[in-house]
Amino acid sequence: GTLFAKVYAAKVAHGIINNIDITKAENLPGVIRIIGHKDIPGQNQVGGIIADEPLLAEKEVDFIGMPIMIVVAESDVIAHHACQLIEVDITPKKVIVDPVEAYEVGHLLSDPIHCKKGDTTAAFTNCKYILEGEAESGGQEHVYLETQGAYAIPNGDRSIKIFSSTQGPTAVQRTVAKVLGCTMNQIEVDVNRIGGGFGGKEDQASPWAAMVALATHLLDRPVKYILERGEDLQMTGKRHPYKSRYKIGLDAEYNILAFEAQYFQNGGAAADLSPAVLQRTVFHSTNSYFVPNVNVSAYSCRTNLPPNTAFRGFGGPQGMFVMEAAIHHAARSIGVPTHVIQEKNLLTEGAAFLYGQKTEDCEAQNCWQQARLNYEVDKQLVSIEKYNEVHPNHKKGLALMPVCFGISFTNTMMNNARALVHVYSDGSVGISTGAIEMGQGVSSKMIQVAAGAFGLSNVDIKLETTNTTRVANTSPSAASATADLNGKALLDACEQILSRLKIMLAKTWNINDADTVIFHNGQATELGGTKKMDWKEAIELAFQQRINLSAKGHYATPRIHIDRTTLQGHPFAYHVYGTAILTCTVDCIRGNYEFDAVEIVHDFGTSLNPAVDLGQIEGGLVQGIGWMTLEELIYNKKGELKSGNLANYKIPDIYSVPKTVQVQYLETIGSDLAILKSKAVGEPPLMYGIGAYFALYNAIMSFNPETKMAYSAPMTAEKVLMGLYGVSVPLSV
Ligand code: LUZ
Ligand code: MOS
């Protein structure tokens, strides 16, 4: 009895709705109901941080793809057809797609962020070299394999159960309850696994769930909506494009004494997660470098594009690109290799970040030095020079890219998680956490944590779906922190059960210290003693003795805090470090290029699962290279997406990935604030891809030392060609 929903969306980027005519659509056989904002029993509001985003347009549309009506029909084909019969009369208004233009007319989504340390003005007077410029980076489409979607079913007692492709089941639950005007306990959200997220489903999975839940609420029938790829590309937000200005000052020894920047974030038509993304940009403005004097301002600009959102790195990459551009600019104008300035300014132990936190167990120098030595960078540079001398039409370029990324949600409140563990009377184990498996391997890690704690093997552990009735008030699976937060909560639950079992066995065996009872290889044994019992037998005994074999675990990251007005504090549990070396070859006739090799030294702590983590490094790297080189989102002045399909929006494929990728595991002591002394691995490797931009730039410079390219990513083949032949590549093509 499932019905199918579909959105009728705005076809102009800004305008006033005069009239909506649904007569023809309503009369189409198979159409059950057409829903507008007036049918919403609760609030017409899906904004997560700021309540500025209606689920369905009321008087005005603000971007192409903004939902106006929901068609519910017997099939998705009928719903599709009905959408084409809806007629909406709109009086167009002025469209703004450029963030600086929006800023100039005062269209901001949230308060500007200003953050500084030291005194840049004074520091610049001590600088031998001062460079100013502009840098911009484009947006990025998530291209998760599974598009957005949700399925709602009536669940008795007026409650609704929703299967949602979301990173944030609680965000979905909260948003649906708000829209339906009910309490959260009426809404159950269940997620088994999802086909990719990359940030795109941190907050933007909620509207679709709200739509199907609304239809289910009105019709008392199951309703499903899974977006077509074209709809998803058109309607959902992406990585924020940024336009930025920088000013960097160095002394005669190339120490960076001062850095200033202004970031103009293209936020789209509503705030979504933009203010949080902007904050992470500011926190990562100096990447892996120590800069004593910093002064940055950041603006989230309201434009007539779909609201942009979380994307792997969450504003960090955009900030780090500007820093790398500034250093590249300085190196070019001084006439030294970029890596000389990079190396000179790497973070050291105890150095303070812009936000006041100081480095602890800083691995910036270690990663860099190991990468330089182990991958013989000096030798590579010599052989690249030789290659370039004898190849007039092919040039190689190399860039080093250090990364330092802070782990924790910058919103301290979000850094907590819970887990539920049941040991069944036959000894088998069922675990639930708030973590969402989206291909990143967190399910494997959760199973490993529980198996490790109980001394069982992975096959003894059943990981249940992520469900708001079993684990409530979850933070989204995001910020690279999912395994840490949920793993710690899970460990807490396992340890509660273990400690009950230990006390029971100590009593049974007549030993004093319960901590000498340990669990491994499916057995409980007495440490240094002779007592032994099979896990199953121990559980049966506990069951007979009426011992509680279930536990709820909780974890809240200790130590972290941030003053929201001064942005000073200790926002991150720890930092992840790494260095990548990227080499490319440019075809100087055609502008095409290939990445010959990427070599990485990455700080994994004590990796929980090296195979899973390697997958994250490779995937993140390639996604970063895609953002920096191939993927070009083009909106015209009318706010129309001109690269709205996968034929003209190019994502990396097997031909464009680096020919070789080598990853060395920097064995570090890890952090106690990470799960089992591992380190978060989801986002940091994306930023290695920034080096791709500069490797290409360097190759172009060896063909044409006078090239006039602006720092404008992505470095598409077209831009390479213009750069090679001295055509000035403008900002924002
Ligand atoms: N999401 C979020 C994130 O809400 N806050 C963050 O700090 C964050 N960082 C990275 C990715 N998603
Ligand atoms: Mo994310 S950008 O960690 O959802």
Query: Pairing between strand 569-570 and 256-268?
Result: unpaired
CA 74 to ligand 2 center in whole angstroms: 35
Work out which ligand 1 atom sits closest to the CA atom of 276: 5
H/E run at residue 703: helix 690-703
Structural tokens at position 105:
């007319």
What pLDDT does 730 receive? 64
Work out which ligand 1 atom sits closest to the CA atom of 408: 7
| 3-state per-residue secondary structure call for 277-333 | HHHHHHHCCCCCECCCEEEEEEEEEECCCCCCCCCCCCCHHHHHHHHHHHHHHHHHH
CA 258 to ligand 2 center in whole angstroms: 30
* Under 8 Å between Cβ of 169 and 474: yes
* Under 8 Å between Cβ of 370 and 564: no
Distance (Å, whole) CA 622 – CA 159? 43
Distance (Å, whole) CA 482 – CA 446? 10
Q: Residue 694 pLDDT more than 60?
A: yes
Confidence of residue 667 (pLDDT cuts 50, 70, 90): confident
H/E run at residue 274: helix 274-283
Report the SS3 class of residue 530: coil
- One-letter amino acid at 245 equals R
Residue with CA at minimum distance from ligand 1 atom 7: 409
Q: What is the pLDDT of residues 452-508, one digit of tens each?
A: 999 999 999 999 999 999 999 999 999 999 999 999 999 999 999 999 999 999 999
What pLDDT does 733 receive? 42
| 3-state per-residue secondary structure call for 70-104 | EEEECCHHHHHHHHHHCEEEEEECCCCCCHHHHHH
Q: Residue 298 pLDDT more than 60?
A: yes
Does the C-beta of 409 come closer than 6 Å to ligand 1? Answer: yes
Q: Residue 547 pLDDT more than 70?
A: yes
Among residues 679, 521, 557, 554, the alpha carbon closest in space to that of 608 is found at 679
Report the SS3 class of residue 170: helix
What mean pLDDT comes out for the span 702-706?
A: 96
User: CA 211: distance to chain centroid?
Assistant: 25
What pLDDT does 708 receive? 85
Residue with CA at minimum distance from ligand 1 atom 5: 409
CB burial readout 503-522, b (16+ within 10 A) else e: ebbbeebebeebebbebeee
* Under 8 Å between Cβ of 242 and 712: no
Residue with CA at minimum distance from ligand 1 atom 4: 409
What pLDDT does 670 receive? 76
* Under 8 Å between Cβ of 162 and 172: yes
Q: Residue 729 pLDDT more than 70?
A: no
* Under 8 Å between Cβ of 583 and 610: no
Confidence of residue 306 (pLDDT cuts 50, 70, 90): very high
Does the C-beta of 407 come closer than 6 Å to ligand 1? Answer: no
DSSP string, 246-257: EEEEE-TT--EE
Ligand 2 binding site (Cβ under 6 Å of any ligand atom): 167, 199, 202, 310-312, 314, 478-479, 683
Q: What is the pLDDT of residues 229-251, one digit of tens each?
A: 999 999 999 999 999 999 999 99
Residue with CA at minimum distance from ligand 1 atom 2: 409
Q: What is the pLDDT of residues 329-346, one digit of tens each?
A: 999 999 999 999 999 999
* Under 8 Å between Cβ of 116 and 296: yes
Q: Phi and psi at residue 98, in whole multiples of 5°?
A: -100, 130
Question: Of 343, 683, 706, 718, which one is the catalytic site residue?
Answer: 683
Q: What is the pLDDT of residues 20-43, one digit of tens each?
A: 999 999 999 999 999 999 999 999
- One-letter amino acid at 461 equals I
| 3-state per-residue secondary structure call for 581-650 | EEEEEEECCCCCEEEEEEEEEEEEECCCCHHHHHHHHHHHHHHHHHHHHHCCCCECCCCCECCCCCCCCC
CA 199 to ligand 1 center in whole angstroms: 8
Work out which ligand 2 atom sits closest to the CA atom of 197: 4
What pLDDT does 731 receive? 65
Query: Pairing between strand 461-463 and 429-433?
Result: parallel
Mutate to test the pocket of ligand 1, among 410, 477, 562, 572 (most ligand atoms within 8 A of CB): 410
Residue with CA at minimum distance from ligand 1 atom 6: 409
Report the SS3 class of residue 660: strand
CA 482 to ligand 1 center in whole angstroms: 11
DSSP string, 209-229: HHHHHHHHHHHSS-EEEE--H
Peptide linkage before 652 cis (omega within 30 of 0): no
Residue with CA at minimum distance from ligand 1 atom 10: 479
Q: What is the pLDDT of residues 129-174, one digit of tens each?
A: 999 999 999 999 999 999 999 999 999 988 999 999 999 999 999 9
CA count, 13 A, side-chain hemisphere, 442: 33
Does the C-beta of 721 come closer than 6 Å to ligand 1? Answer: no
Confidence of residue 4 (pLDDT cuts 50, 70, 90): very high
Report the SS3 class of residue 362: coil
Catalytic (active site) residue 540: no
CA 198 to ligand 2 center in whole angstroms: 6
Does the C-beta of 411 come closer than 6 Å to ligand 1? Answer: yes
Residue with CA at minimum distance from ligand 1 atom 11: 479
Contacts of 183 (CB under 8 A, 6+ apart): 177
* Under 8 Å between Cβ of 542 and 501: yes
CB burial readout 322-345, b (16+ within 10 A) else e: bbbbbbbbbbbebeebbbebbbeb
